[in-house]
């Protein structure tokens, strides 16, 4: 396998990590959605390249699902949701951008330190991809923890799932039924999250999940 194949696979996976870091940096909802769309398109390109390198035709289905649904359809639905809810504003964060980015860099380093020694005998093409994939998963979790807006938490969850797909694509032999099941699960999760966001908006006139905590505190005080 040529050096170009390795370099391109690692470049695409590395750009996904960069996109995860940019997601943590953004403070506007529309910008967060646009960066997520770019990350999903990078995932589609990374999986497509793995399909070419592994000669696994079924991975092209995963690549198309990632590119079309997660890169175009879901971001368009999120933009429509933001317009309908009228929440064109800054993203509420639990902690500042600086500490969040430092934590993100630490998690990325942790992913590399954990995966690389544990995969010394693994396929060289997928070894670094697994480290990048774990970093994307951890950064998605970090976004869910450090953002208070329900829509940014949805994007954090889907970014986390992008990392899982990248890891699965790098592991040879992933069956097609698993890919289709994951895609279907994400569609269901997105629908449930969408209903959840609209219900929060109707009940509390905000999509800040902190409102739920304050409401629960008031209920406990009344009890």
Distance between CA atoms of residues 51 and 14, nearest Å: 18
User: Count of CB atoms within 10 A of residue 106's CB?
Assistant: 12
| 120-132 pLDDT tens trace | 777 766 777 888 9
Residue 215 domain flag: no
Residue 97 domain flag: yes
pLDDT at 83: 83
Which residues have a Cβ under 8 Å from the Cβ of 180 and sit 6 or more positions away? 61
Could you tell me the pTM of the whole model? 0.80
Residue 211 domain flag: no
Residue 216 domain flag: no
Residue 179 domain flag: yes
pLDDT at 10: 86
pLDDT at 193: 67
DSSP conformation class of 94: S
Residue 118 domain flag: yes
Residue 6 domain flag: yes
Q: How many structural domains are present in the chain?
A: 1
Domain span including residue 59: 1-206
pLDDT at 204: 62
Taking 70 as the pLDDT cut, the residues of the chain under it are 1-2, 87-92, 124-125, 172-223
Distance between CA atoms of residues 54 and 77, nearest Å: 33
pLDDT at 82: 81
Residue 218 domain flag: no
What value, to the nearest 5°, has the Cα angle with vertex 133 and ends 11 and 8?
Answer: 15
């Amino acid at each position: 396998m040529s050096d170009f194949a390795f370099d391109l696979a690692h470049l695409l996976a590395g750009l996904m990590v960069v996109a995860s870091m940019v997601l943590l940096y953004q403070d506007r909802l529309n910008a967060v959605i646009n960066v997520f769309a770019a990350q999903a398109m990078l995932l589609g390109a990374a999986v497509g390249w793995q399909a070419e390198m592994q000669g696994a035709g079924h991975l092209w289905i995963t690549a198309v699902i990632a590119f079309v649904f997660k890169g175009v359809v879901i971001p368009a639905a999120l933009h429509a949701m933001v317009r309908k809810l009228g929440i064109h504003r800054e993203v509420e964060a639990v902690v500042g951008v600086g500490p969040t980015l430092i934590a993100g860099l630490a998690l990325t380093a942790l992913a590399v330190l954990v995966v690389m020694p544990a995969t010394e005998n693994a396929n060289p093409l997928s070894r670094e991809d697994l480290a990048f994939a774990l970093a994307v998963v951890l950064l998605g979790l970090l976004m869910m923890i450090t953002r208070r807006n329900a829509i940014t938490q949805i994007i954090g969850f889907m970014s986390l799932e992008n990392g899982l797909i990248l890891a699965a694509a790098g592991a040879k032999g992933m069956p097609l039924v698993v890919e289709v099941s994951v895609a279907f699960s994400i569609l269901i999760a997105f629908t449930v999250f969408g209903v959840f966001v609209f219900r929060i908006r109707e009940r509390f006139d905000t999509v800040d999940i902190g409102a739920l905590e304050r409401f629960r505190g008031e209920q406990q005080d009344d009890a």
